[in-house]
Structure 1
Amino acid sequence: MKLSLAPLFCCLLIPTAWADDSGGLQKGEAPPPPHAIDDGYRGTENARTMTVEQAKEMHDGATISLRGNLIDGSGGDKYKFRDKTGEIDTIIPKSVFDGRTVEPDNMISINGSLDKKMTPPVVRVDHIQK
């Protein structure tokens, strides 16, 4: 019985060894235009999510929760995020992607804090959800 379980166990481990863990923004298809971004009814999530326009008016260090698209990466960990109301610069460390890839047409949620000391203000992202 031990011999028959060992090959099965090895077969389950092999795909994880081949997994690509590069993650980050994959520039493929263009994101939808701002007027076409509508993610539908989300229940209680709508109460916690704000718009880019609202986020820019918050105080320095405010907790930010946005839903939209990552549309451009300018190298390193700097990205441009867009929703229906506008665009904002973000700083997303590679570790936040956790090996996941995000394309410009993927609707995502980001959570982080607003840094108004930088010009223009940026969101320092600590969590992404696809």
Structure 2
Amino acid sequence: MKKLLLLAGFTAMLSLPALADDQGGLKTDEAPPPPHAMDKGYRGMEDAKGMTVVQAKAMHDGASVSLTGNLIKKTKGDRYQFRDKTDTIEVEIPLAVFDGRSISPDHLVAINGTLDKKQKPAVMKVDHLQKQ
């Protein structure tokens, strides 16, 4: 009798993980859709291609800004001059944001960050950089 109860208990314990698989959670058996196939939701840099330096300079202090263009030159410390087709802006990019990547002035880059208009002229503090 004890063996039968022990066997029944052991069988019940082994079947619990199989029952748990049918519940919710992240299923990793299917790949997500590519970004260009998404209809809704945040897609990062792709959503902000239309923003220019001129538009960014007109925004309020602390605004989130996404720009695409070129880093022209290093001005001092973590500060660089960024240029797109409309204008230039000084950007502050910590070394950690480069993440070991080398960028040259002919590389097209997309940057995300916040606008600091308290400084004159306005400076963009970059927290994400992507080489295009």
TM-score with structure 2 length normalisation?
A: 0.63
Please list every run of 5 or more consecutive structure 1 residues that lacks an aligned counterpart in the other structure: 1-42
- Find out whether 1:71 has 2:61 as its counterpart: no
Cα distance in 1, alignment partners of residues 108 and 96 from structure 2: 20
Residue of structure 1 in register with 2:48 after alignment: 48
| 1:82-107 Cα distance to aligned partner (Å, 9 max, x none) | 00000000000000000100000000
- Cα RMSD for the two superposed structures: 1.4
| Identical aligned residues as a percent | 56
What letter is aligned with 2:106? D
- Which 4+ runs in 1 deviate beyond 3 A? 43-47
CA distance in 2, matches of 1:125, 1:47: 17
| Structure 2 match to 1:122 | 123
**CA distance, structure 1, for counterparts of residue 78 and residue 56 of structure 2:** 20
Secondary structure of 2:76's match?
coil
* Deviation (angstroms), 1:46: 5.3
Which structure has the larger Rg over C-alpha atoms? 2
Q: How does 1:84-99 map to 2 (within 5 A)?
A: 84-99=85-100
Provide the aligned length of Structure 1 versus Structure 2: 88
Normalised to the residue count of structure 1, the TM-score between the two structures is 0.64
> For residues 114 and 80 of structure 1, what CA distance do their matches in structure 2 show?
14
2:92 is equivalent to residue 106 of structure 1: no
Letter aligned with residue 69 of structure 1: N
Letter in 2 for 1:48: A
Q: Distance in 1 between matches of 2:79 and 2:108?
A: 18
Unaligned runs of 5+ in 2: 1-35, 37-42
Q: Which amino acid letter does the alignment assign opposite residue 73 of structure 2? A: D
TM-superposed deviation, 1:48: 1.6
Question: Which residue identity lines up with residue 66 of structure 1 in the other structure?
Answer: L
**Amino acid aligned to 1:120:** P
